[in-house]
Amino acid sequence: MRLQLISLLALSAVAAPVATAQDLLIENVTVLSPERAAPLDGYSVLIEDGRITAVSSLPLSAAENVTVIDGAGKYLTPGLMDSHHHVSFVPGMGAIGVGVAAANPELTAAYVEQQPRSLLYHGVTQILDPSPLNAWQTFEDQPVRPDFFRCGEIPTPGGYPGNQLGEGERAALSSYEIDPALEGEAARVTREIAEDGAICVKIYVEDGFGDANAWPVFDTALIRELVDAAHDYGLPVVAHANAVDMYRHALDGGVDIMAHGMWNWNWPDGEAPVVETLDRLVADAVGYMPTHMVMTGISRHMLQGTLDDPGFLNVVPPSLMAFYRAGGSDFFSEELASDFPPEMPAEEVGSILGYGVGRAQAATGYLHQRGHPILLASDCPGSPTFANHAGLCTLREMISIAEGGVSLAAVFEAGTINNVRRFGLEADYGTVVPGKIANLLLLRANPLETVEAWDSIETVILHGRPIQRESLRAGQTSSN
């Protein structure tokens, strides 16, 4: 019954195609589909009305109005799904509608227009926003964009993330409030989330950053109540957590997915039970989002030369880049530096902030060794850093996962089939088989041979419509 409910809710949440579907035939291509043990060389793939209708080793005939692509020497894969991307944040500014973003409406508009194009440029054809804020509806209004899904966010009363918001910033939230003192709250709030079309529930298990460790968190009884109520609607529960003790608390509550890698190994007495906790995650079959780019992006924000990153040219609007170079994001640099001695150089601050990345990679590699599936999830921008940009951040999350010891085949699965299975979207996405929505990538290189092949996209196919990658670059017109 639960799987049936997940499938029905997921199907109802799939947005109508945002690009006009057309019939398409891709000939003589190597098909890479994550459920298959080996590539399919020299195959033909037929797409009709936005869905795959045939995958054949034999030539397929096409009607006169069918667009034909010669796939010789190229690789056809499912489009990527990033299951942790925030559409309502502008890198280097913060939440849309408040603060720095509200004070710069033209720059915000430039980013809002480019964001879905940058995701597609890097092959992200489906995204999940676990805490979408109000501006998610603006993302859905974009004419060409990845298919969009969202969780319903339940902030902790008196705790995270509300306690991090400044005056007036709550106006940006699109959350579901809960009063733990009232009976029936878990059933009420999860029903609202399900009826609003979300495909998951997001909670926070976070008792503090840095020296803080006394923020309130839901007790395990309430977490279990929320999990049981969410499961009645076929919704998985995603828990924000990154510290060993918060992982254990979330696991005690029976959550389905951890929304961050475990990079905080602080423990009050002796060595933290890192391996034991990760083994519990494996035993309970809990989903794992590494989100390596969270700490990577914060670190890079403080390092010299970050704005000279050539990858930014493909995804950052020129006007926004000029804003960064003029010091528009210095407010976040000052915020990060405020936790360190005033005489400490920015490079040293950045290096310290990036210390957790190695731990995150080690935890991810250990889970891979245990055969535990990884979920591609970048959590970008994730903070007001200018270092993490849509699409590029997803690519670098995949590279970081591979650097952590995850095999290229498992990286492929993380970006394609693992997320759709976890979130009940497998009927429509994740593999190259008849019946699936034709969100596909045509690559010049084989991603089972090098992770950098994910940056060799020639054509993005969105609901059957081929889009040349170069037309999606920042600074190009949006009429494609």
Stretch(es) of the chain classified as CATH 2.30.40.10: 2-79+431-472
What is 2-79+431-472's CATH number? 2.30.40.10
Q: How far apart are CA 153 and CA 137, in angstroms?
A: 15
CA distances from 1 to 7, 220, 232, 234, 284 (A): 10, 25, 9, 8, 20
Stretch(es) of the chain classified as CATH 3.20.20.140: 81-297+348-422
CATH superfamily for domain 81-297+348-422 = Metal-dependent hydrolases (3.20.20.140)
Biggest alpha carbon–alpha carbon distance for the chain: 72
Q: How far apart are CA 50 and CA 74, in angstroms?
A: 21
Residue 189 DSSP label: H
pLDDT in tens, the chain (480 residues): 333 333 333 333 444 344 445 699 999 999 999 999 999 999 999 999 999 999 999 999 878 889 999 999 999 999 999 999 999 999 999 999 888 999 999 999 999 999 999 999 999 999 999 998 888 889 999 999 999 999 999 999 999 888 777 766 666 666 899 999 999 999 999 999 999 999 999 999 999 987 778 899 999 999 999 999 999 999 999 999 999 999 999 999 999 999 999 999 999 889 999 999 999 999 999 999 999 999 999 999 999 999 999 999 999 999 999 999 999 999 999 999 999 999 999 999 999 999 899 999 999 999 999 999 999 999 999 889 999 999 999 999 999 999 999 999 999 999 999 999 999 999 999 999 999 999 999 999 999 999 999 999 999 999 999 999 999 999 875 544
Q: Is the peptide bond before 310 cis (omega within 30 degrees of 0)?
A: no
Q: How far apart are CA 89 and CA 382, in angstroms?
A: 8
Note every long-range contact of 237-240, with CB atoms under 8 Å and residues 24 or more positions apart, other chains counting: 237/200, 237/201, 237/202, 237/203, 238/130, 238/151, 238/200, 238/201, 238/202, 238/203, 238/287, 239/202, 239/203, 239/204, 239/205, 240/160, 240/202, 240/203, 240/204, 240/205, 240/206
- Total-model pTM: 0.93
